Structure 1
Amino acid sequence: MIRLRRALLSSVTTGLLKDYTDDIRRQATEKERKDRAKELWANRRQVRPALLGGLAEMAPGHERCMYCGDSQGTDVDHFEPKSLAPLRTFDWLNHLLACSFCNSNQKRNLFPVAADGRPLLVDPTAEDPLDHLRLVLPLGTYQGLTDRGRACIEVFGLNARAVLVKGRRDAYVTAWNAIELWRIAMDKGQRDKATEIVRVSWNRPLVDVLVAMFHQSGHPAADALFAGEEEVLDHLRDSELRSAFLHFRGLSY
């Protein structure tokens, strides 16, 4: 998971979403609100293209899932499930792009909360997941830094799905190769080629690996985090390289 910026919807779509929400709010009981929300969501043809388009614009890579970062995002997921919060069914701030596996097999209606009622899952459009999760780069596994990070690992199966772990390990090698190729291209004065390397690097699946590399290289404990991989760390600390890669995504790690 990586930090994402919430896209803006058109005034027409925003108005339609409000109309749907007002319709749900007019229902007399909670059960009626849930039933009406379910009915309206099943017939959301007027807003579905705009919602998917906005989410695709926000998503990492080529419309990757906002949870696992690997598969194509095909579903509009409700961060807070509509079965628990019917009034948020058409709330744009409650919509994320998910692959069918994360949405239907992993998250489903799971929405763990802390003792004080606060959500334990992390919304990557509202805060930085790196405050709660640390990727162990050579292993391809996540560590939970907080209860919320640990909840994300469990609910989305971030470590339990072998294909994700292996994919992250491979993505680490691929990202490292891209960084080396960028340096070679710049040393040869091939700036257009270097720019293309940056673009392609950010559009690959599992881009959370690349984000973690730059984030951890600026950490006070970077020397320990990259023990045995000093050459990687030296490249990641190169100010010119950091500027080229991070500016492309609007990051400041």
Structure 2
Amino acid sequence: MIPLQRGPLPEELTARMVARTERIAAHRGAAREAWRDARTIRRDLMVHLIAMASGLSRCMYCGDSEGTSIDHFEPIARAPQRAFDWLNHLWACSFCNSNQKRDLFPTDRGGEPLLIDPTSEEPADHLDLVLVTGAYRARTPKGSETIRIFGLDRPVLERGRAHAYVRCRSMLRDLARLVDQEERDEASSVVQALAVQPFADVLYEMLRLRTAPRAALVFGAEAVAGLHALTGPHVATWGPVGR
């Protein structure tokens, strides 16, 4: 899970969503039916959520599967008035949405959510990613509940992250060599491939740790050079990496 930037919606779409919310309030409910009937709004929201998502329309929770549907972070059953709240919409795969999260929404004793919203907070404040094994370790109760509710400890996800780490190190070493040899076109292709691969959390964690004292020892000097190349001023002309 990585932090994601949520931008504003077009005024026209916002106005339609406000009108739907007012209609729900006036009829004292029927939020789920209203959401189900709002096909055009859902279609338009999907465009903006996909643009926010990492890689090629990856699920904002697991980062592995392609997103397929809009998830209400705070479920409609719990907060019907937030059915058309843009700040309550995330892009999720069918497994994370329908099999894992469903209408679950744990809170602490004060009523604060115990799930990480990657569009409003830094997941790394609550989760540690062990790159070699691909396993997440909770740093806080919110991190623990996020792992449990979304099944971030599923073996298939842990194996996928571990393999993504091997893949990232290899691609970063290639990138460092290509940059050193001034092979701009091929370096650009590697940057783009890194940007769209699944498990963006692996590359994000490597970028986060690139200046750590033991980074060169853990990742390898060439991989660290590749990480620094990704964050250099010239990379903006090559394309985005991460989000």
Equivalent residue for 2:190? Answer: 197
Give me the CA root mean square deviation.
2.1
Q: In 2, distance between residues paired with 1:167 and 1:4?
A: 21
Equivalent residue for 1:206? Answer: 199
Q: Which has the higher contact order (CA 8 A, sep 6+)?
A: 2
* Selected match of 1:217 from 210, 214, 224: 210
Equivalent residue for 1:131? Answer: 125
Q: CA 1:213–1:250 in 2, change beyond 3 Å: closer, same or farther?
A: closer
- CA-CA distance at 1:63 after TM superposition: 0.2
Equivalent residue for 1:148? Answer: 142
Q: CA 1:14–1:177 in 2, change beyond 3 Å: closer, same or farther?
A: same
- SS state at 2:143 partner: helix
* Aligned residues with identical type, % of pairs: 42
- CA-CA distance at 1:87 after TM superposition: 0.3
Is the 2:173–2:225 contact (alpha carbons within 8 Å) kept by the matching residues of 1? no
Q: Provide structure 2 residue ranges, at least 5 long, that are not aligned to the other structure.
A: none
Equivalent residue for 2:23? Answer: 23
Q: What TM-score comes out, normalization by structure 1 length?
A: 0.88
Q: In 2, distance between residues paired with 1:22 and 1:190?
A: 56
- SS state at 1:77 partner: strand
CA shift digits 1:117-153 (9 cap, x unpaired): 1111011111111111110000100011111111111
Q: Provide structure 1 residue ranges, at least 5 long, that are not aligned to the other structure.
A: none
* Selected match of 1:167 from 160, 179, 194: 160
* Selected match of 1:115 from 109, 116, 120: 109
Q: In 1, distance between residues paired with 2:48 and 2:55?
A: 14
1:74 and 2:68 matched: yes
- CA-CA distance at 1:232 after TM superposition: 5.2
Q: What is the identity, as a one-letter code, of the residue corresponding to 1:143?
A: R
Is the 1:213–1:236 contact (alpha carbons within 8 Å) kept by the matching residues of 2? no
- CA-CA distance at 1:242 after TM superposition: 3.4
Equivalent residue for 1:102? Answer: 96
Is the 1:217–1:237 contact (alpha carbons within 8 Å) kept by the matching residues of 2? no
Q: What TM-score comes out, normalization by structure 2 length?
A: 0.91
Is the 1:65–1:72 contact (alpha carbons within 8 Å) kept by the matching residues of 2? yes
- SS state at 1:84 partner: coil
1:231 and 2:225 matched: no
CA shift digits 1:27-68 (9 cap, x unpaired): 3xxxx42xx101101111120111110100000000000000
- CA-CA distance at 1:192 after TM superposition: 2.2
User: Aligned residues, how many?
Assistant: 240
- CA-CA distance at 1:238 after TM superposition: 6.3
Equivalent residue for 2:44? Answer: 50
Q: CA 1:123–1:230 in 2, change beyond 3 Å: closer, same or farther?
A: closer
Q: In 1, distance between residues paired with 2:199 and 2:68?
A: 16
Q: CA 1:74–1:198 in 2, change beyond 3 Å: closer, same or farther?
A: same
Q: CA 1:238–1:101 in 2, change beyond 3 Å: closer, same or farther?
A: closer
Is the 1:217–1:233 contact (alpha carbons within 8 Å) kept by the matching residues of 2? no
Q: CA 1:174–1:239 in 2, change beyond 3 Å: closer, same or farther?
A: closer
